[in-house]
Structure 1
Amino acid sequence: MSERVLAGARLYVDLFEVNPPFTPWMFMPAVALAHALGLSPEVVIHLYAYAICLVGLGFAALIAKQAGFAENRTLFSMLPLLLALLVILPGNAFSEREHLGVALFLPSLVLAAWRATPTDGARPGMLVAVLAGLCGSVLLLVKPYYALVVLAPAFYVAWRRRSIWSLFAIEHWVIGFACVAYLVAVMLLYPEFLSVIYPTLADTYMRMGNLPGLLIAYGPIYLIALLILRFLRPGLPLSPLVSVFTVASLAAMVPLIYQAKGWPYHAFPAFSLVLAALFLRTAQIDQSSPGKAIEPARKLLLAAVIAAAAIPFMKTQKPNAELVVKLEAAVHQPTVALVGSDIAAGHPLTRMLGGTWISRYCSDWLSESALYLSAIATGNGDKEAADHYREIADRYIDGKLAELETKRPTMIIIQKNDRALAEELSRRPDYVRFTQDYRAVAEDETVRVLLRDTSVSQAPSPAAASD
């Protein structure tokens, strides 16, 4: 997406990008820098993500030092563990928007803990508050409903200090101004997102979810992590630092459940913050017995919880190595199309082959959503909704067939488990006729890959024959 925009494609016009503009704004500079330096964009994006993690954690540590938290000595010795939480735990979510947003949100959380700590010492300065607010705004600019993750710690601080005026802290004003400025920029620069893209998303993709599966995948280990917060240091009240991270994590669970998609990057804010709270809990000082260490059994339990919490993030979507080898031997720098709703079916395979993506869509998610919702509406006896979604699906499929016929890609990737779209296309004579010029060359558990057989003469379409 970044490369096509840098090459002159119009965002939300030539490219149907589902994310609001801050997502391309976040990654475009790194891709442009990679091109300027003649480096791989993937390498530069990784370095970019590492740098953001270091900046976020480093700034948070600087604020903690200024705040003079009682647990600072132990806390600073744990910085490598906290860095690992940012660069190893994400796994499948590494360099996602939520990953980078959480890393930059850490200073705001530490600042909130400072404001919640009763002290007669120094208070946060203007510059620190402004910079923390700018960093913290990234999480909201990524996805607006993460405003809950800002508001929950803010209300905790107000409750802790018994003063509503803490809600009007400088960093909150900065976050608010950043969000307003962003909204105005979107309205002026990309009106198509608000008038076309978002309504389409709200009508289709955002109506789909798997809440039971999400709760089964993430619920048990998250609840155990919350229980361990008390079990690690029984009888010791939660410090403001631990409380702020815990409250923010609980707030991040709301968007995860609301979206109900269950993707690892959706779960990363809630899980990374609760695990950070566990680390901070171990750093707390028990004034009744300052030198008392946590028992080895409790440390082992903590390690087990962290390992279990990391499991959902470790699943890889990397293409099968054998499949890639076969395709590299069969074709060089192909033009590529996808028949399937999962973006992972076409990416990063296309880039690994040096291919060119032909479509303005990243995948066939729109047809999948529309076909699914049409089937649900039919089952519920809602003919009007069924016809509405059927029309969306038909319009998308007609456009896809026209795109395939016009651009005639060298390679077609077919996602095996997206049967609804495959069945729809199989009923279209023009698609069946079009694929007769292709032959299967490789497949794995998830995809089957077709290559255009250049030895077969291209038969003219009926319309062309009549002309």
Structure 2
Amino acid sequence: MSLDVGLSLAGDRPARQGIWTASPLHGVVVVFMAAIMLRGVLPFNVDVSWWLIVCERILDGQRLYVDILETNPPMAGSVYMFGVFLARAVHARPEVATNGLIFLMIAGSLALTWRVLRFSSLRERAGGAAAVWATVVLTILPMYDFGQREHLALIVLLPALAVYVLRANREAVAPWAVLIAGLCAATTMNFKPYFVFAVGFCILTAAVQARDWRVLFAPENWIAAAFVVIHAVCIVAFYPEYFTLIYPLVRDVYLLLKAPLLAILLASATTFWLLAIMVALALQSRRQKVDSATLVMMAGSLGFAISFFAQGKGWGYHAYPMVALGLLAAGWAIADSSDAQAPARWLRAGAMLVVVLIFANACLWFNASVDMRRVQEEVTLLEPRPKILVLSAAAVIGHPMVREVGGTWISRQQAFWMREIVRRALKDGAIDQATADRLATYVAQERAGIIEDFRKQTPDVVVIDNQNSDWGKWAAADPELSELLKAYVSVKNVDGIEILRRADQPRS
């Protein structure tokens, strides 16, 4: 089923044929099958790979924020624990189990969303093209960023969006849907505090559209707020180190890692988002009455856009929710534009073309990754199931390479970013020398952790990043680290990335 044909199904099919007929269902199944095959071709995401290591270590007895250094709240990693549990239970790779659970999560979210809308005034539009297009956006659009927290947060939020649409239309909401919406909204916000903008804007838009301020205090909002508070209390109770150790580190060092605002505003993702919103607005302008579903999705997209700009990194996965919801809003507006007048048909055809082009280019943009296959191939030749240390701030060098070669990651953190952030901030003039001196304590702590982990589990392979930074010179100038590295010999240099092996181990 082509995208254009799929998008036209819901608008053209008479309501008497139902909202979930065989053809759309077949389309959803085809999209799922294509997305599953795509997972076998695309590389596994760097951050998801790291979180699998974190979950495995926690199950083996290590403590998050004590033995494992991570800047994200516990919710960010807890979701991946299910994949590791399942993999150990059925003796499968955690990557396979995690991807399988994410596909089930998408199917469950779509089913719940459809169920919420089934008995509403949107029942004729809740299936068909809307279901096929939502499946495409959730399963294929993420590309390399499949499984990232932003991807999961949007998947979880969809049933809550459906309830907000009903509130905007002043329609009844079933008690079970109220509970589901509250839990889903809370889960989304618990991933990252920034996501409160998306949820909040949806609720505010629903209240304005309904012209009823009581929507702001609907029961699902109280449920969401309660679970957010419970989550925060649990972090304080079970992970106090997150506030005593991690928060100061994030505040003082990690937040220095920001791209220029102009670069973010001019990023491809911003263009994709603006174009998708413009398509939705253009189609809305042809309607006599504003469509609440399109309006709520655009509001959520705007909230995620604020999250993207506030985080200030410009990374692809940070942009995914705003682009995805913008495309969902545009696709919904296309499927709903059934005006028989010729100008409206031409507008709809043009909108379809623009959406297809946005989607295709966004897929290419979200598929951006660093090719480390040559490094992985060289490491594979050195030692079976090696213990690996990577001296770099670039996480993509070590992940998912360490898992692909069946190795062991000996460091407590994903990459050594503290020294690099301070060095670059000083070089770029973002901080002065006095601030750099104050932050030297964090850099010293990172260095001490490297040496401690080195001695605790002597690595078989050391990879030194001289491509993106000066880690080789830094290690050579450090008395303790240079002494430890005397036991290693260089075997390969891949575009500035130096690979070392222990000298007392023959090359296999």
Aligned-partner Cα distance in 1 for 2:283–2:202: 22
Is residue 82 of structure 1 aligned with residue 171 of structure 2?
no
Tell me: CA distance 1:409–1:60, structure 2 relative to 1, closer, same or farther (3 Å).
same
Write the mapping of 1:194-343 to structure 2, written as runs, cut at 5 A.
Answer: 194-210=243-259, 211-217=261-267, 218-232=269-283, 235-236=286-287, 238-286=290-338, 293=345, 295-317=348-370, 319-320=372-373, 322-343=374-395
Deviations 1:307-343 (A, max 9, x none): 12223201134531x4433322221111111100122
Tell me: CA distance 1:290–1:29, structure 2 relative to 1, closer, same or farther (3 Å).
farther
Deviations 1:144-168 (A, max 9, x none): 1211111111111111122211101
Aligned-partner Cα distance in 2 for 1:42–1:21: 20
Q: Secondary structure, in 3 states, of the residue corresponding to 1:451?
A: strand
Deviations 1:267-297 (A, max 9, x none): 1111110010011111214567599755544
On the 8 A contact 1:21/1:186 being kept in 2, the answer is: yes
- After TM superposition, the score normalised by the length of structure 2 is 0.83
CA RMSD of aligned residues (A): 2.4
Aligned-partner Cα distance in 1 for 2:202–2:75: 24
Aligned-partner Cα distance in 2 for 1:190–1:214: 33
Tell me: CA distance 1:351–1:384, structure 2 relative to 1, closer, same or farther (3 Å).
same
Q: Secondary structure, in 3 states, of the residue corresponding to 1:68?
A: coil
Range with greater deviation from structure 2 (271-280 or 409-418): 409-418
Write the mapping of 1:102-181 to structure 2, written as runs, cut at 5 A.
Answer: 102-118=154-170, 123-181=172-230
On the 8 A contact 1:374/1:387 being kept in 2, the answer is: no
Aligned-partner Cα distance in 2 for 1:199–1:108: 33
Aligned-partner Cα distance in 1 for 2:451–2:234: 35
Aligned-partner Cα distance in 2 for 1:220–1:7: 44
| Alpha-carbon offset, residue 402 of structure 1 | 4.0
Deviations 1:358-407 (A, max 9, x none): 11111101222233334456x86x44312112332233224323432453
* Identity across matched positions, percent: 25
Aligned-partner Cα distance in 2 for 1:216–1:45: 34
On the 8 A contact 1:371/1:389 being kept in 2, the answer is: no
Tell me: CA distance 1:446–1:21, structure 2 relative to 1, closer, same or farther (3 Å).
farther
On the 8 A contact 1:134/1:175 being kept in 2, the answer is: yes
On the 8 A contact 1:327/1:441 being kept in 2, the answer is: no
Range with greater deviation from structure 2 (281-290 or 147-156): 281-290
Tell me: CA distance 1:213–1:403, structure 2 relative to 1, closer, same or farther (3 Å).
same
Aligned-partner Cα distance in 1 for 2:178–2:72: 29
Q: What is the match of residue 96 of structure 1?
A: 148
Deviations 1:397-456 (A, max 9, x none): 243234324533111122233314444323224433433332233444473321111169
On the 8 A contact 1:373/1:389 being kept in 2, the answer is: no
Q: Secondary structure, in 3 states, of the residue corresponding to 1:261?
A: coil
| Alpha-carbon offset, residue 93 of structure 1 | 1.5
Look up the equivalent residue of 1:38 and give its one-letter code.
H
Range with greater deviation from structure 2 (155-164 or 442-451): 442-451
Q: What is the match of residue 353 of structure 1?
A: 405
| Alpha-carbon offset, residue 240 of structure 1 | 0.4
Aligned-partner Cα distance in 1 for 2:155–2:436: 43
Aligned-partner Cα distance in 2 for 1:285–1:28: 43
| Alpha-carbon offset, residue 234 of structure 1 | 5.1
Is residue 431 of structure 1 aligned with residue 481 of structure 2?
yes
| Alpha-carbon offset, residue 212 of structure 1 | 3.1
Q: What is the match of residue 186 of structure 1?
A: 235
Tell me: CA distance 1:80–1:447, structure 2 relative to 1, closer, same or farther (3 Å).
farther
Look up the equivalent residue of 1:393 and give its one-letter code.
V
Tell me: CA distance 1:36–1:455, structure 2 relative to 1, closer, same or farther (3 Å).
closer
| Alpha-carbon offset, residue 97 of structure 1 | 1.3
On the 8 A contact 2:389/2:461 being kept in 1, the answer is: yes
Aligned-partner Cα distance in 2 for 1:23–1:277: 27
Is residue 44 of structure 1 aligned with residue 93 of structure 2?
no
Q: Secondary structure, in 3 states, of the residue corresponding to 2:390?
A: strand
Q: What is the match of residue 88 of structure 2?
A: 35
From 415, 439, 442, the counterpart of 1:389: 439
Aligned-partner Cα distance in 2 for 1:315–1:172: 37
Q: Secondary structure, in 3 states, of the residue corresponding to 1:67?
A: coil
Tell me: CA distance 1:420–1:254, structure 2 relative to 1, closer, same or farther (3 Å).
farther
Aligned-partner Cα distance in 1 for 2:497–2:121: 55
On the 8 A contact 2:273/2:323 being kept in 1, the answer is: yes
On the 8 A contact 2:327/2:355 being kept in 1, the answer is: no
How many residue pairs match? The answer is 449
Q: Which runs of 5+ in 2 are unaligned?
A: 1-53
Aligned-partner Cα distance in 1 for 2:181–2:331: 22
- After TM superposition, the score normalised by the length of structure 1 is 0.89
Look up the equivalent residue of 1:3 and give its one-letter code.
E
| Alpha-carbon offset, residue 77 of structure 1 | 3.4
Q: What is the match of residue 454 of structure 2?
A: 404
Deviations 1:194-224 (A, max 9, x none): 1111211111112221033322222223222
| Alpha-carbon offset, residue 11 of structure 1 | 1.3
User: Which portions of structure 1, spanning 4 or more consecutive aligned residues, are displaced by more than 6 angstroms?
Assistant: none
Aligned-partner Cα distance in 1 for 2:283–2:492: 52
Aligned-partner Cα distance in 2 for 1:145–1:231: 29
Look up the equivalent residue of 1:199 and give its one-letter code.
P
Q: Which runs of 5+ in 1 are unaligned?
A: 457-467
Tell me: CA distance 1:239–1:333, structure 2 relative to 1, closer, same or farther (3 Å).
same
Q: What is the match of residue 67 of structure 2?
A: 14
Aligned-partner Cα distance in 2 for 1:29–1:446: 38
Aligned-partner Cα distance in 1 for 2:406–2:140: 28
Tell me: CA distance 1:70–1:4, structure 2 relative to 1, closer, same or farther (3 Å).
closer
Tell me: CA distance 1:65–1:277, structure 2 relative to 1, closer, same or farther (3 Å).
same
Q: What is the match of residue 66 of structure 1?
A: 119
Aligned-partner Cα distance in 2 for 1:37–1:158: 47
